[in-house]
Chain A
Amino acid sequence: MELVTKDRNTIDPLEAIETHNNTATLAINPLESEAIYIFREVVAQFEKPVLLFSGGKDSITLVRLAQKAFYPSKIPFPLLHIDTGHNFPETIAFRDKLVKELGVELIVRYVQDSIDQGKVIEEKGKYASRNSLQTTTLLDALEEFKFDAAIGGARRDEEKARAKERIFSVRDDFGQWDEKNQRPELFDHLNGKISLGQNVRVFPISNWTELDVWSYIAKEKIEIPSIYFAHTRKTFVRDGMIWSADDAVYREEDEVVEERLVRFRTVGDMSCTAAVLSDAVTLEKVVEEIRASTISERGARIDDKRSEAAMEKRKQQGYF
């Protein structure tokens, strides 16, 4: 897969029009301006922030916004990846390349370690997933490094419980989200004051929709992992959804493996992220497909389908 790289010589069409009118006036998209504002507040208000990096398009978008917020300084915090051990290999390769290019510190903590230490018990059977196990590993990592603010790429449009999430979301010692007792957030006055033992989850792209993220990736020509584009992959079908036929994904004997032309809409844990049939090999085509699609982004996440309140429950336990 050919990745799109940023070409500084390309003149943006709207900018070209404005330049033509002899005014180099800066007018930023309000969502981008808001996200950059939030990034700066995090760094100013907290001692030790960290960016939760999954290798997915949302966290890649966060990295670009962070680059812009602090330029010409480098991104002033490390990236933290909670590796379930079931990641797409393409995502890991992409992650390592990006970190090298940016010169930022990458911390990786493994769910496998939490399992080996007996802190969590691996799920068994057909619908086994390590997605909910990540929470323990994440909380341990925050504790280990004494991070007081964890920046994540969650968006309010993703899911009903997330629609009620704050931009600065305070968590207690156990990482729990008390949804009925959240701080009001008024104007641009973000309150990041916390007590000892508390930490904050920060969501700079809270107000972005999935289409906004894709538009931004297109506009900024941001590289994203190849699994977002159509590729041939060994897959099998279960409950009407297409799964990657990988060792990490449990498969019944009667579930037949076939090569299909697919792409992924999110890059979660392989065991809970379904593929869609697609021949979209360019970003433009991917976005066009998303716009036309009638299934929501998280509709392809089996972890949310477990129960109607699945996300809310996981969030109360410290999931981000």
Chain B
Amino acid sequence: MYTLSRKRIKNKRVLIKTALNHRSENSSLWEVRWEAMEVLKIATAGSVDDGKSTLIGRILYDTQSLTTDKLEAIETKSKANGFDYLDFSLATDGLVAEREQGITIDVAHIYFSSKTKSYIVADTPGHIEYTRNMVTGASTSQASIILVDARKGVIEQTYRHFFINNLLRVKDIIVAINKMDLVDFSESIYEEIKADFQEMIAKSEYKEQNITFIPVSALLGDNVVATSENTPWYSGNTLLDHLEGLEAQDVYEQSHMRFPVQMVIRPKQTDFHDFRGYAGKIYGDDLEVGDEITVLPSLTSSRVKEIYFFDQKFDKAGRGSSCTITLEDDLNISRGDMIVKNAERPNVGKQLEAKVCWMDTKELQPGTQYFLQSGSNRILAKIKGVSGVIHTDFSGEDITANSLKLNEVGNVNILMSRPLAYDSYTENKISGSFILIDAHTNTTAGVGFVK
């Protein structure tokens, strides 16, 4: 994995270099930056006082991502709070209430770039009340940093953090064992925590996660960006080096091609009189001109005629591309339909079973109606039943439960008013997940992962 991505970065660098040598007079370094950009989305999870905000602040500081005015603001505030060091957590805590209480309430997004990548960090609060925010952050991230306080070790909340990242099948997990400075950079403490964490991993469902342990001190900077002299027993990468080595990918991962139709484009202009394009984003795999496709749920078939991106045509489009396609045949297709390759049909049905994480204060109750939305498809649905609440510490489930409270995860059976094309979440993250929308308040009340 690591060698592969190193090679990829090297290739990319060669590509940029070649491009720069061949660039015409009108192209610039910035065009090339845009073309070659790798975006790595990361989520962070940690308990109150684990030093999560400090860690992010430290990365920003050490990568020179903090501007002078921001740094000055941190300095002023740190002094006012009576600290004799820079309180980097001030770089991320955005809302007044958060600064007053010194905690993170909502998902904050933080941006920084290295030589090879642009990073988007979803900084999510770790307290049990904010499980929904952690799930939200993890849903759009390729990698997660889980913080563990070296003095406390693996605690109840660590179980929850890992459980969520495992449930959402986040590909790369970095366990940052923080505050190593407060335990004299003890190797045995680090190893103990690692062993406890591995016990937890053994109980998890999704085993293909890449899990990496790093001993750090966010406050002092050990093994965050610079290698620490205090941990001679640790031979692995620093946190940033590790992230640099990850191959930035579409979070939806390689799978079967899924093309949920967002809208039909019919310009009705003289130049494009008969143009009928289907706008959407390609998930899972490439799509090529000539591919034989099936439209769901109608089960009609055709072939891809053209792939447009703006005013240019392409033979093939990679996953992650928002494009517009046309088909050989005139079919009746509308928003919410899904285009797939003939040999790769998903399930189509009016009933599904899913693990649901509940995000609303109003409980999920059997018999209640919600709108189920998966991508561009929104269907009126009804909760048929709840068959159990899953303990987030890998200790099984409570099968007597028949409703879901805020921040609980449970097994739910759902009936839909129309057939939906879906996959299991393990096979496809976009067509295997959905949100439930409260029919009265319109809020996003829960998220489901199809079994």
Contacts of B15 in A (CB 8 A): 14, 17
A183 within 8 A of B: yes
Please report the C-alpha to C-alpha distance between residue A189 and residue B221 in the assembled complex, in whole angstroms: 37
Contact pick for A17, options B18, B263, B269, CB 8 Å: B18
Is B20 a contact of A40 with CB atoms below 8 Å? no
Please report the C-alpha to C-alpha distance between residue A257 and residue B111 in the assembled complex, in whole angstroms: 38
Please report the C-alpha to C-alpha distance between residue A11 and residue B19 in the assembled complex, in whole angstroms: 11
Contacts of B266 in A (CB 8 A): 73
Q: How many residues of B contact A (CB 8 A)?
A: 96
A117 within 8 A of B: no
Contact with B along A174-196 (1 / 0, CB 8 A): 00000110111111110101110
Q: How large is the interface on A (under 10, 10 to 19, 20 to 34, 35 or more residues)?
A: 35 or more
Contact with A along B1-41 (1 / 0, CB 8 A): 00000000000000100111011101111111111110100
Contacts of A179 in B (CB 8 A): 95, 106
Contact with B along A82-96 (1 / 0, CB 8 A): 000000000000000
Q: Knowing A33-B320, A164-B94, A189-B433 touch, does A11 contact B271 (C-beta < 8 A)?
A: no
Is A219 a contact of B31 with CB atoms below 8 Å? yes
Is B322 a contact of A36 with CB atoms below 8 Å? yes
A287 within 8 A of B: yes
Q: Knowing A164-B94, A212-B118 touch, does A71 contact B34 (C-beta < 8 A)?
A: no
Identify which of A104-112, A153-161, A229-237 touches chain B.
Answer: A153-161
Please report the C-alpha to C-alpha distance between residue A71 and residue B250 in the assembled complex, in whole angstroms: 24
Is A296 a contact of B433 with CB atoms below 8 Å? no
B409 within 8 A of A: no
Chain A, residue nearest B136 (CB): A184
A281 within 8 A of B: no
Please report the C-alpha to C-alpha distance between residue A71 and residue B106 in the assembled complex, in whole angstroms: 36
Contact pick for B30, options A16, A40, A183, A214, CB 8 Å: A214
Contact pick for A13, options B23, B267, B272, B443, CB 8 Å: B23
Identify which of B207-215, B307-315, B341-349 touches chain A.
Answer: B307-315
Contact with B along A192-210 (1 / 0, CB 8 A): 0111000000000011010
Which of B267, B269, B316, B320 has most chain A Cβ within 10 Å?
A: B320
Is A24 a contact of B96 with CB atoms below 8 Å? no
Contacts of B182 in A (CB 8 A): none
Is A14 a contact of B35 with CB atoms below 8 Å? yes
Please report the C-alpha to C-alpha distance between residue A206 and residue B120 in the assembled complex, in whole angstroms: 11
Is B34 a contact of A29 with CB atoms below 8 Å? yes
Contact with A along B435-449 (1 / 0, CB 8 A): 101000111100100
Is A312 a contact of B96 with CB atoms below 8 Å? yes
**Closest chain B CB from A241 CB (angstroms):** 12
**Closest chain B CB from A190 CB (angstroms):** 8
Contact with B along A18-56 (1 / 0, CB 8 A): 000001111111111110110011011000000000000
**Closest chain A CB from B253 CB (angstroms):** 12
Is B27 a contact of A10 with CB atoms below 8 Å? yes
27 A–B pairs (Cβ distance < 8 Å), ordered by A: A12-B31, A13-B18, A24-B315, A24-B316, A28-B321, A33-B322, A34-B322, A40-B262, A41-B376, A44-B376, A70-B279, A72-B311, A73-B267, A157-B109, A163-B109, A183-B444, A186-B433, A188-B430, A189-B374, A191-B442, A193-B437, A195-B441, A206-B109, A209-B118, A216-B34, A293-B67, A296-B67
Interface residues of B (CB under 8 A from A): 15, 18-20, 22-24, 26-37, 39, 67-70, 73, 92-97, 105-111, 113, 118, 120, 132-133, 135-136, 139-140, 250, 262-263, 265-267, 269, 271-272, 275, 277, 279-281, 286, 307-311, 313-318, 320-324, 335, 359, 371, 373-376, 429-430, 433-435, 437, 441-444, 447
Interface residues of A (CB under 8 A from B): 7, 10-17, 23-34, 36-37, 40-41, 43-44, 67-74, 156-157, 160-161, 163-164, 179-180, 182-189, 191, 193-195, 206-207, 209, 211-212, 214-216, 218-219, 221, 283-284, 287, 293-296, 299, 308-309, 312
